[in-house]
């Protein structure tokens, strides 16, 4: 084995190495946080879509995203039953309501906007934990299930439900009772969620007309051909509804957050800033390292080492810095993810694919800096050292 000069040179000055690793770790942490929030935004925006039991979905063409839907007539849903391979349909109602926190804060009553989800409880259409166990409760008037991953500002509802079984409060000034919990999670659109029956929904939001729905679910018979049914529905149904399969349905939601808002751009920009900060830090380190070792490199050149040896040396140092700096960044980000997940109720966690992305970005970042630092090598002239 050849003398690992790159590592020996880096590790020779411990404090400088530590500062370098802290800098790279910081840049990595920035990228992790930005990418993490971006992914959490998109993930959280489709947790509802993922949980809906269905093959094909109908929505108004004017609908933007969950919570910003325009209604359409449920007749469209029933028209689709005429298609041979369609087995059943489920209308879904969505609306924001004003939730009253049943526990007074500093002797003041607080309210907060909550997303109300409703469908006919005769058949469970939502794959969230807790829904199947509690769905029969929803058949009772003004009974609701509360999302236990809603933000804490709605009140300690999960604890109260577990203690007392029932929690009474008001939504849009109507008395309701929470008799159970389910787990969905906050999204960028909604900080909290409640679930009830279509009948209760129409009782609560008296301005909403029966028959005007937000999302329509279509279930196909076993063995049906999804693509052909989708095509048939698209041609048969009038233009006042859009037809999606599940993937398209989720993609529409994600595209909304990506394009119609600056959120996606902001997080991408944040990642880019982390990347640039990293390049500057690594460049500083590598440049100083090369500059400090110029007489030594000139000596090695005099001994007969080729120019390529030093280029490889600089890139080895770059990659060592990238990998070693990545580790503290990774650990720090994992910790921050769980802190932020606790504070925001967003599905924020470390994933292998994001870790890989950041590691690759770090290596690119370090090699970009290395490419610039390599230019300094030509200043090592063996004729100068005698």
Partner 1 sequence: MIILKGPSGSGKTTLLTLMGGLRSAQSGGLQVFGEELVGAKKNKLVKTRKNIGYIFQAHNLLASLTAKQNVQMSLELHDGIKAAEIEQRAIALLEAVGLGDHINYHPHSLSGGQKQRVAIARALVSHPKMVLADEPTAALDSKSGRDVVELMQQLAREQGCTILIVTHDNRILDVADRIVELEDGKITLDTKH
Binding mask 11-50 for partner 1 (x = CB under 8 A): xxx-------------------------------------
Answer for which of 9, 125, 169, 187 binds partner 1 (CB under 8 A) is 9
**Which residues, listed in sequence order, are joined to residue 108 by a DSSP beta bridge?**
105
If binding means CB under 8 A, how many residues of this protein chain bind partner 1? 23
Residue 367 CA to residue 76 CA, distance in Å, equals 57
Of 70 and 306, which has the nearer Cβ to partner 1? 306
Query: Contact at 8 Å (CB) between 219 and 88?
Result: yes
- Residue 13 or 245 with smaller CB distance to partner 1: 13
* Cα–Cα dist 214/66, whole Å: 9
Name the token pair of 257. Answer: 């957050």
Q: Which of 51, 52, 65, 58 is nearest to 216 (CA)?
A: 58
What DSSP string describes 204-256?
H-TTSPTTEESEEEEEEPTT--HHHHHHHHHHHS-TTSEEEEHHHHHHHHHHI
Pairing of strands 215-220, 174-182: unpaired
Dig out the tokens for 263 from the structure: 């959120």
- Closest to partner 1 by CB, 2 vs 108, is 2
User: Among 41, 300, 345, 374, which residue interacts with partner 1 (rule: CB under 8 A)?
Assistant: 300
Question: Cα–Cα distance between 376 and 384 in angstroms, integer?
Answer: 15
Q: Which range binds partner 1 by CB under 8 A, 26-34, 129-137, 364-372, 378-386?
A: 378-386
Residue with smaller CB distance to partner 1, 238 or 295: 295
Task: Dig out the tokens for 86 from the structure.
Answer: 């369609």
Q: Smallest distance from the beta carbon of 295 to partner 1, in angstroms?
A: 6
Single out the segment in contact with partner 1 by CB under 8 A; choices: 10-18, 79-87, 120-128, 179-187.
10-18
* Bridge partners of residue 219, in order along the sequence: 88
**Of the candidates 61, 96, 95, 59, which has an alpha carbon nearest to the alpha carbon of residue 77?**
59
378 interacts with partner 1 by CB under 8 A: no
Choose which of 110, 111, 120, 299 interacts with partner 1 (CB under 8 A). 299
Please pick, from the candidates 306, 342, 356, 375, the single residue that binds partner 1 as defined by CB under 8 A.
Answer: 306
Closest contact distance (angstroms) between CB of 378 and partner 1 is 12
Q: Which of residues 256-295 bind partner 1 (CB under 8 A)?
A: 295
CB of 8 to partner 1, least distance (A): 5
Site for partner 1 in 75-134 (CB under 8 A): none
* Residue 383 binds partner 1, judged by CB under 8 A: yes
What is the C-alpha radius of gyration for the chain, rounded to an integer number of angstroms? 29
Nearer residue to partner 1 within complex by CB, 267 or 287:
287
Q: Which of 207, 304, 352, 378 binds partner 1 (CB under 8 A)?
A: 304
Q: What share of the chain is helix, strand, coil (3-state, %, to 5)?
A: 55, 20, 25
Q: Which residues make up the interface to partner 1 (CB under 8 A)?
A: 1-3, 5, 8-9, 11-13, 295-296, 299-306, 382-383, 385-386
């Amino acid at each position: 084995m050849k003398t690992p000069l790159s590592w020996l040179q880096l590790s020779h000055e411990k404090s400088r190495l530590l500062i370098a690793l802290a800098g790279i770790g910081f840049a990595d942490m920035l990228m992790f946080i930005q990418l993490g929030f971006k992914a959490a935004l998109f993930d959280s925006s489709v947790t509802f879509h993922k949980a809906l039991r269905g093959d094909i979905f109908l929505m108004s063409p004017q609908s933007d995203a969950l919570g910003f839907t325009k209604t359409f007539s449920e007749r469209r849903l029933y028209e689709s039953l005429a298609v041979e391979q369609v087995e059943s349909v489920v209308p879904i109602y969505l609306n924001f309501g004003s939730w009253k926190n049943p526990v007074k804060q500093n002797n003041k009553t607080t309210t907060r906007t909550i997303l109300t989800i409703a469908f006919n409880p005769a058949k469970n259409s939502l794959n969230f934990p807790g829904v199947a166990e509690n769905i029969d409760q929803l058949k009772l008037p003004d009974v609701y299930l509360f999302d236990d991953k809603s933000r804490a500002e709605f009140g300690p509802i999960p604890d109260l439900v577990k203690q007392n079984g029932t929690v009474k409060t008001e939504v849009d000034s109507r008395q309701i009772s929470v008799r159970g919990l389910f787990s969905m999670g906050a999204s960028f659109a909604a900080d909290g969620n409640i679930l009830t029956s279509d009948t209760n929904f129409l009782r609560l939001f008296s301005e909403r007309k029966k028959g005007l729905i937000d999302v329509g679910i279509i279930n196909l018979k076993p063995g049906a051909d999804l693509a052909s049914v989708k095509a048939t529905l698209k041609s048969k149904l009038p233009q006042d509804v859009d037809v999606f399969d599940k993937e398209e349905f989720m993609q529409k939601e994600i595209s909304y957050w990506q394009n119609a808002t600056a959120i996606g751009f902001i997080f991408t920009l944040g990642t880019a800033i982390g990347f640039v900060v990293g390049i500057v830090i690594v460049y500083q380190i590598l440049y100083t390292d090369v500059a400090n070792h110029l007489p030594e490199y000139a000596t090695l050149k005099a001994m007969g080492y080729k120019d390529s040896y030093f280029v490889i040396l600089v890139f080895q140092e770059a990659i060592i810095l990238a990998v070693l700096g990545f580790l503290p960044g990774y650990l720090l980000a994992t910790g921050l993810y769980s802190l932020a997940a606790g504070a925001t109720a967003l599905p924020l966690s470390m994933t292998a694919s994001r870790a890989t992305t950041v590691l690759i970005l770090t290596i690119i970042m370090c090699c970009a800096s290395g490419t610039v630092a390599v230019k300094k090598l030509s200043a090592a002239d063996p004729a100068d050292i005698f």
